[in-house]
Structure formats: C-alpha cells, structure tokens
Amino acid sequence: MTDATSNAYAAAGVSIEAGDRAVELMKGWVEKARRPEVIGGIGGFAGLFDASALKAYQRPLLATSADGVGTKVAIAQALDRHDTIGFDLVGMLVDDLVVCGAEPLFLTDYIATGRVVPERIAAIVKGIAEACVAAGCALLGGETAEHPGLLRPDEYDLAGATTGVVEAHALLGPGRVRPGDVVVAMESSGLHSNGYSLVRHVLLGTAGWELDRDVPELGRTLGEELLEPTRIYAKACLALAAATQTHAMSHITGGGLAANLERVMPQELTATIDRASWTPQPVFDLVRRVGAVPQPDLEQTLNCGVGMVALVPGPDVDEAVRTLAGHGVRAWPAGEVATAPAGAGGRVTLVGQHPGW
C-alpha cells in the first residue's frame, strides 16, 4: 500500500498502523492459548490445526458453536475495562459446545470497532486467551475490523466460533435421558452474559444507579458485579462425563433454566426442579426487587444462579457433585426426571421458592 493510499485510508478513519500494533500486542496472549496441534502462529490468512490427532478416535464427531456476549459489552465500554469481556465470549462458546460431551479444540474471534486502540484490542484478546487456557482449547486466529462511521470510536462488539470433538458413542443428549435421572445444578458466577438488556434497563435506567455505586447486598460496586466473568464449565463437565454415566447437559443462557433444560428433554419425559434447593446470588434478587420484575419474567431471562445442569442417574449423583467440586464448581441435586403425563411431554417445571425470596 502506498503512502498516499495509506493516508487516504487514515483520513477515512482506518489506521493500518494501529491494526499492526494491536497484532503485536496480542501475540503474547495468543501464544499462551496454544495446543500441540496448532501449526504456525497468528498473521496468516487461516489458522491451522493438525487433524491427525483425530485418528485416535473411533468415530469422531465435530461439534461447533458460534456466539457473542450481547449488551454486556456496554458495561465494559462504560467502565473502560476490557480484559474480562473476552472471557465471557469464550464461556458462551465452549459451554454450549461441551453439553454434547465435546472437548473444545480451537476458537476464532471477531472484533469490530469504530477505532482500533491497540491496547484495548490487546486487553480483549488477553481475556479470550486466558479463558481458552481455562477451557483447554487453542486460540487459533481471529479478525479485528475497524468500522468508522458504523460504530463510534470507542464502541466495539465481539463474536466467535469454536470447534470440538466427541466420540459418537459418547455423544450426550435427549436420547440418553431416562426416568429417575437427577437434575444436578451447577452454580453460576453471576449474571454470566445474558439478560443484560433487562438488567441495564432496571438498574441503570429505571433506578438511575451509577456503575460506581457501592451496593451493600453485592459487597462491591454495581459495575464490578455486572462485569463478573462468565464461569467456564468445560473442563469440569468433561471430567463429569468421564467419571459418571451422565446422560445430558444444558447450558443455562438466554431463556433461563426451564427453557434451556427443555432443549435436551425427550418428549415422553418431564423434569421438576425445586427452587428451595438453592439461593440465587444477591444480584438476581436485586433486579427482581428494584425493578419489580415478576419471577416468571426473571426466570425466563436470567440464569438465577444456575449456569449449567447435568442429568445423571441417581446412583451417580454423589460422585457427580464430588467431581464438580474438585474442579471448583459447586453443584447440588435440584430436581428429577419422570415419565410425562399426557400433554406435558418435554416440559420442565419449577416448584417451591428460593430461601429468603
């Protein structure tokens, strides 16, 4: 590219130099998120992954997932803190993938911004890389796009895709679920990355709270709570599947606990979950009370303290809870699967009430 062309592009709002600087700053973080199968480094047109590793599988099934982080990016931008939002991206990707029993292999990201600020892009990639390490997958590549005129200078959005592998005979899902299976709930780290339009509307809009407001119920500022990263369950869930006869898992994202569990429920069965088995973190009750949000609406939008569930046979419940605890995930039996009454097939019902609600 000639200097004249480069200057013209800069006049249009795109900085080639800033993009190059961002790549240099992120290289160290990308290098930390490698697996032995990765070929080469960043900077090429495509990331390379040595698929000969799949020869060890009898019948490998590839699984893929794509997602973003929604309006949680608005919180990161308002606080000018960008080193955790990438962690959220990876959590939303790999935790969708692992529910079928697939091990995440690699991930690619896409960051669109109104103006490339190298340090900000590097901070985002830092979070992505750290989360890839936590999930055991490689950050294989990505794209940073500068969109002046479409996004404001300090605005950005990010998305990604991940690929994993599972043996065909180990595939988890509705076909394995049986009456008597126990719903093992896994604690969330908080809001994760769903329902932020509701949370922002209630706390920042209707209530008029500032992000630097100290909230006694939370034990920290509102902004710190809202930026709490999504928990990554991938390694814990893979260990769970290896240690028990887990039949299915569900990642509790947009739609809430009941709707997401129904995605892995066969039509001839139903599940009942007892709210009395756990107390959601204070942020959920805060949104409910401050916004006078009806509980059904809250439960259809937020995870309410449960970020992942597994359906396991009754005799495996204790081992499931121990295995998850060994990976830093608090878990508990929260319900049970039964044969569905006529007309109620595939449904999940929440009963009882959370302590203190």
- List, for residues 222-254, the tens digit of each pLDDT value: 999 999 999 999 999 999 999 999 999 999 999
DSSP-derived letter for residue 174 is: G
Kindly state the average pLDDT of the residues 199-207: 97
Sign of the four-CA dihedral 32, 139, 106, 92: positive
Check pLDDT > 90 for residue 277. yes
The predicted structure's pLDDT at residue 217: 95
pLDDT above 60 (res 8): no
Percent of the chain with pLDDT over 90: 83
Which pLDDT tens digit goes with each residue over 293-327? 999 999 999 999 999 999 999 999 999 999 999 99
CA distance 93 to 159: 9
**Residue 31: its pLDDT value, please?**
64
Tell me what percent of the residues of the chain surpass a pLDDT of 70: 90
C-alpha distances in Å from residue 159, one per residue of 6, 109, 338: 28, 6, 38
Q: Give the closest residue to 124 by CA, choosing from 153, 175, 90.
A: 90
The DSSP 8-state label assigned to residue 202 in this structure reads: I
CA 185 to chain centre: 16
Q: What is the pLDDT of residue 342?
A: 84
Distance, in Å, from the CA atom of 29 to the CA atom of 23, rounded to the nearest integer, reads 10
| Measured CA angle at 38 (ends 35, 44), to 5 deg | 135
Tokens of 244: 């028990």
- pLDDT (0 to 100) of residue 357: 95
Cα dist. 147→37, 47, 82, 224 in Å?
33, 24, 19, 29
Query: What would the mean pLDDT of 17-40 be, rounded to a whole number?
Result: 65
3-state secondary structure of 161: strand
Query: How confident is the model at residue 191, as a pLDDT?
Result: 98
| Nearest residue to 124 (alpha-carbon basis) of 167, 155, 170 | 155
Nearest-angstrom CA–CA distance, 94 and 96: 5
Provide the pLDDT for residue 282: 98
Mean pLDDT taken over the chain: 92
Report pLDDT digits (tens) over 185-195. 999 999 999 99
Q: What is the pLDDT confidence band of residue 40, given thresholds at 50, 70 and 90?
A: confident
Q: Are 166 and 237 in contact (CB under 8 A)?
A: no
Average pLDDT over residues 269-296: 97
Q: How confident is the model at residue 4 (pLDDT cuts 50, 70, 90)?
A: low
- In whole angstroms, give the CA distance from residue 237 to residue 244: 10
Per the structure block, which two tokens stand in for 251? 């990642």
pLDDT confidence of residue 10: 64
pLDDT band at 13 (very low <50, low <70, confident <90, very high): low
